[in-house]
Structure 1
Amino acid sequence: MNLERPNKLVEKSSREPKAMAADGSNTDEDVKIFLEYMEKKIKYTSPFLYTIDRVLKPIRDVKPEDYTPRLISIGPLHHQEPHLIPMEAHKLRLVKEFLYRPFNKATLGDYLREMKGYEKEVRQCYSEKNPLNSDDFVRMMVVDGCFLLQLILGWTHYLNGDSIFNETWMPHIMRDLMLLENQLPFFVLNKLCKLCNGESRPDTIYDDTRNFIWNFLRLGQDVMLSRPDSETKHFLDYARHLYVSPFLHEHEQRFIRRKHSATELKKAAAVKFQKTNTRRFTDITFDGEDGKLNIPTIYIDNSTESLLRNLIALEQSHQYSVKYVTNYAIFMNDLINSPKDVKLLKKDGIFEGQVNPIEVADLYKNLLKEVTVPYDVCFSQVYHELESYYDSSWYRLGTIRHRCVSKICKMMKCVKTKYFDSPWSLIAFIAASTVLGLTMEPTIASFKSLKQKGVAAVSHETGVVE
């Protein structure tokens, strides 16, 4: 099998069914051809328990570029797309380097034969039928799998000085590896790694992948003690595992959220914000005694939004009963109403990196568009404790003045929205007020004149001279 051979599409059946007649005039041959066609279609349909899917169209349409690979394709969903073809030469070069590694215990033929045996299982990991024929599909599995292994090993252990292993290329490659539609089943990497290492070190891929992801996502040191089980589905699923606490109980409660921005919590309830020692999205807690809301730090760069969007899109599938990353996005969206909130959280260490308050506020504001928000809330206990603290904060220093001013401002805003929704309304109000003032002026003057006459009369009767 030639690795550089171009793909071939599966040949279409010569027995394409014609449209079935509605009047029942179909012949037995027509029905037979139609049934054969349908059986063939059903045969190649992926099972319900697939692990790699397309991003739902309504979610993708919000910002398509955040779900589309820019530089490199992994797996069949974006395979051979024109703008990604230039990277294929670099992939093949790394595959060659992987095959000729000093400690590689397998040959190219060994990898091809091994993957041929898993072709059907790999195809069923995707939600849609792929048009690649058997040889090209196996070729894709070997090339992409060996490329990823060499990428992980080359970066983690600095095995070579390839031009890809630098700070210019790697952030873009890493960004593409974290896309839902750009994945290869993780067991493919595990099988290839076992062939490469032999039986002496069969499971090193889990630790090497963790170290590789940790380097680029700027996760906390506690992640280095974490290791997912053999059920890891793919690269993005591995990243999600690292962002979720391993000690978290899947306990959900229904709780109606009352939204308070970070600025409002600080001013109205004297809540203090503090970064946690970890960077896991699930490590959000509230200390009611000290009034401290503990939130994990997140590093903001050019790929942060894409990563968050794809993690949320991943959780929209049937595979995740508890949507932890989605709930993190909901919590942060509640805290951030304006750039002022971002500035406050940045000051307290919640945000690091390239933090533009306006852009970060827009990021969290738009992150959940078209996303099905779970009714059950992961952080229900935090919401409950925070709400209790907020309701009992009336006696704390500085909160009374803020609440009074805040209510007056809200009333003024309501009046403005209801009665002065246009400049003409304001002009009319000023004109009416002026006319009313001019009309009332003579009345007030007459009232004052009568009052003075009454006082003079009383003074005269009592004999008091003013």
Structure 2
Amino acid sequence: MATKLDALLESEPYTIGRVPAYIRERNKKLYEPMVIAIGPYHHGREHLQALEKHKWRFLRDLLSRSTTETSLEALLGKMKALEREARRSYSESIRLTSKEFVKMMLLDGCFIIEFFLKFHERDFVNNTFPGVQYIHLDLLLLENQIPFFVIEELFELVFGGTAENRETPSLIELIRHIHMESGDVNMHSRTLPPPAKILHLLHLYYHWVVPAAVKPSRSDHHSPPLERLFSCFPSMKSEKPERSHKPTLFIASTTELLEAGVTFRKKASPRHMLDITFRNGVMEIPFNHIDDNSKPILTNLVAFEQSILDAPRNITSFSLLMDSLINTEKDVAILQRCDIIDHFLGSEEEVARFFNQLCEHAVIDLSDHYFSELFSEVNFYRDSKWHSYRARLVHDYFSNPWAILSLVAALILLALTFLQTFFAIYSYFRPPN
């Protein structure tokens, strides 16, 4: 009993977990590597064997670059020294012998570094290496990771020295380059966590997408100008419910919010993909490009948050927001017209289905997630009858030129009728001499 307890305590806290079972069932393929296995979870799978021989070639190529004349034995020795710490990084007990585990870490770590170097040097042009795009995506899967310190140690052994004294770009620069070139998910931040706090490649990408120090912009509580104007007249005051910050799981869809008077705009200069604001009935959202590359990345970012107990749920909150806004292909079409969403999937219906499943069964604190205040503000705005009346007025009478002309003509006719009636009554009481 004591031995089992010691083993359990020694294994905590892990940094590379499995995709939780409660969210993986719907989209299994989005969590599994297509062409290459990195780390122990998918090690040895039959359909991933084609690229195993290339790992040895990449190891040879990386050693040939060494500025410190590092030997294979030195790399193996370092991996052996890191074995205990590396095993503890995984949520499961790894059933590989010491020799197998050390060899796997060496081959996978060197493959990653050499892959980034070759991409930086554009060695992959003209499709001289199979599956470059798929390898990049496989390196961002939650279950396809090795500890970041393993990659760092190998990089330092091969190139040595400080970044200022060597010609090779830093490891972080190499990684950032491939992500920026691929453009799979919006990356606006240049901030980084301290190197010691980077867990793995997906975690590093997560920090670029969602900077830890950034807080959501507070929604504007002031009434729109027209509402303040009409509030001067008692009979036309909007019936406002009491402001409440009661936790809520959803907001209305894009179509419903549009009918309630909400306007959607593309964020001009977003700080990051979560820089979504709601002020005076206007929701500003950064541009989102959705295709077959961004789907597994977003899905695994949500899985990463769900796999670590104390991780923030910022991407999960973003997914919840998009799931609320998008129910049907009509909602997608509206966001496309606003230049908020662009996609290369089969149809708007497929985009809607993806967002509806992105955070399905995910766990989140309703009272304290990233967009909890925005949810409350949107629901408060929608519950105000004034906004619905104003939206209906705009839709019915200002939605197209003919409707505007009809309204103007009706007003002119009403004015002429009023004048005719006035002069008729006036002439009755004050007949001309």
Q: What residue number does 1:238 align with?
A: 204
- Aligned residue for 1:75, secondary structure, equals coil
Q: Quote the Cα distance in structure 1 between the aligned partners of 2:30 and 2:215.
A: 31
Q: What residue number does 2:303 align with?
A: 313
From 173, 187, 191, the counterpart of 1:226: 191
Query: Does the CA contact (< 8 Å) of 1:281 and 1:324 recur in 2?
Result: no
**Residue identity in the other structure for 1:124:** R
Structure 1 regions of 5+ residues with no counterpart?
Answer: 1-34, 403-466
Structure 1 121/399 Cα, relative in aligned 2: closer, same or farther at 3 Å? farther
Q: What residue number does 2:133 align with?
A: 171
Q: What residue number does 1:264 align with?
A: 256
Q: After TM superposition, give the deviation of residue 259 of structure 1 in Å.
A: 2.1
Deviation track 1:413-462 (CA, whole Å, cap 9, x = no partner) reads xxxxxxxxxxxxxxxxxxxxxxxxxxxxxxxxxxxxxxxxxxxxxxxxxx
Query: Does the CA contact (< 8 Å) of 1:105 and 1:198 recur in 2?
Result: no
Q: Looking at CA atoms only, which structure, 1 or 2, has the larger radius of gyration?
A: 1
User: Residues 23-62 of structure 1: matches in 2 within 5 Å?
Assistant: 39=3, 43=7, 47-62=11-26
Structure 1 220/61 Cα, relative in aligned 2: closer, same or farther at 3 Å? closer
The answer as to 2:249 corresponding to 1:283 is no
Query: Does the CA contact (< 8 Å) of 2:287 and 2:339 recur in 1?
Result: yes
Structure 1 343/238 Cα, relative in aligned 2: closer, same or farther at 3 Å? same
Query: Does the CA contact (< 8 Å) of 2:216 and 2:275 recur in 1?
Result: no
From 329, 339, 344, the counterpart of 1:349: 339
Q: Quote the Cα distance in structure 1 between the aligned partners of 2:16 and 2:26.
A: 20
Q: Quote the Cα distance in structure 1 between the aligned partners of 2:328 and 2:33.
A: 31
From 139, 145, 168, the counterpart of 1:183: 145
Q: Quote the Cα distance in structure 1 between the aligned partners of 2:312 and 2:246.
A: 13
Q: What residue number does 2:350 align with?
A: 359
The answer as to 2:387 corresponding to 1:393 is yes
Query: Does the CA contact (< 8 Å) of 1:276 and 1:283 recur in 2?
Result: no
- Aligned residue for 1:259, secondary structure, equals coil
Structure 1 188/162 Cα, relative in aligned 2: closer, same or farther at 3 Å? farther
Q: Quote the Cα distance in structure 1 between the aligned partners of 2:267 and 2:208.
A: 18
Deviation track 1:42-99 (CA, whole Å, cap 9, x = no partner) reads 5377522100111122322222111111210001111111111111012222221111
Query: Does the CA contact (< 8 Å) of 1:267 and 1:399 recur in 2?
Result: no
Structure 1 269/170 Cα, relative in aligned 2: closer, same or farther at 3 Å? same
Deviation track 1:182-217 (CA, whole Å, cap 9, x = no partner) reads 001111111111112212329921222122222223
**Residue identity in the other structure for 1:86:** A
Q: Quote the Cα distance in structure 2 between the aligned partners of 1:272 and 1:121.
A: 49
- Aligned residue for 2:390, secondary structure, equals coil
**Residue identity in the other structure for 1:364:** F
Q: Quote the Cα distance in structure 2 between the aligned partners of 1:73 and 1:249.
A: 36
Identity of aligned residues (%): 30
Structure 1 361/161 Cα, relative in aligned 2: closer, same or farther at 3 Å? closer
Q: What residue number does 1:379 align with?
A: 371
Q: What residue number does 1:94 align with?
A: 58
Query: Does the CA contact (< 8 Å) of 1:206 and 1:228 recur in 2?
Result: no
- Aligned residue for 1:100, secondary structure, equals helix
Q: What residue number does 1:199 align with?
A: 161
Structure 1 259/207 Cα, relative in aligned 2: closer, same or farther at 3 Å? same
Moved more, 129-138 or 140-149: 129-138
TM-score, normalising length from structure 1? 0.71
Structure 1 154/278 Cα, relative in aligned 2: closer, same or farther at 3 Å? farther
Q: After TM superposition, give the deviation of residue 258 of structure 1 in Å.
A: 5.3
- Aligned residue for 1:299, secondary structure, equals strand
Q: Quote the Cα distance in structure 2 between the aligned partners of 1:118 and 1:250.
A: 39
The answer as to 2:266 corresponding to 1:274 is yes
Q: After TM superposition, give the deviation of residue 386 of structure 1 in Å.
A: 2.5
From 262, 276, 286, the counterpart of 1:296: 286
Deviation track 1:111-155 (CA, whole Å, cap 9, x = no partner) reads 111111110000000011111111111111110001000111211
- Aligned residue for 1:372, secondary structure, equals coil
Query: Does the CA contact (< 8 Å) of 1:51 and 1:319 recur in 2?
Result: no
Q: After TM superposition, give the deviation of residue 219 of structure 1 in Å.
A: 4.9
Moved more, 126-135 or 258-267: 258-267
RMSD across aligned positions (CA): 2.8
The answer as to 2:214 corresponding to 1:248 is yes
**Residue identity in the other structure for 2:201:** F
Query: Does the CA contact (< 8 Å) of 2:113 and 2:151 recur in 1?
Result: yes
**Residue identity in the other structure for 1:213:** H
Query: Does the CA contact (< 8 Å) of 2:306 and 2:363 recur in 1?
Result: yes
- Aligned residue for 2:342, secondary structure, equals strand
Query: Does the CA contact (< 8 Å) of 1:279 and 1:298 recur in 2?
Result: no
Q: What residue number does 1:368 align with?
A: 359
Query: Does the CA contact (< 8 Å) of 1:394 and 1:400 recur in 2?
Result: no
Query: Does the CA contact (< 8 Å) of 2:266 and 2:338 recur in 1?
Result: yes
Q: Quote the Cα distance in structure 1 between the aligned partners of 2:33 and 2:291.
A: 17
Q: After TM superposition, give the deviation of residue 270 of structure 1 in Å.
A: 4.1
User: Residues 96-111 of structure 1: matches in 2 within 5 Å?
Assistant: 96-101=60-65, 103=67, 105-111=69-75
Q: What residue number does 2:102 align with?
A: 138
Q: What residue number does 2:327 align with?
A: 337
Structure 1 92/198 Cα, relative in aligned 2: closer, same or farther at 3 Å? same
TM-score, normalising length from structure 2? 0.76
**Residue identity in the other structure for 1:277:** S
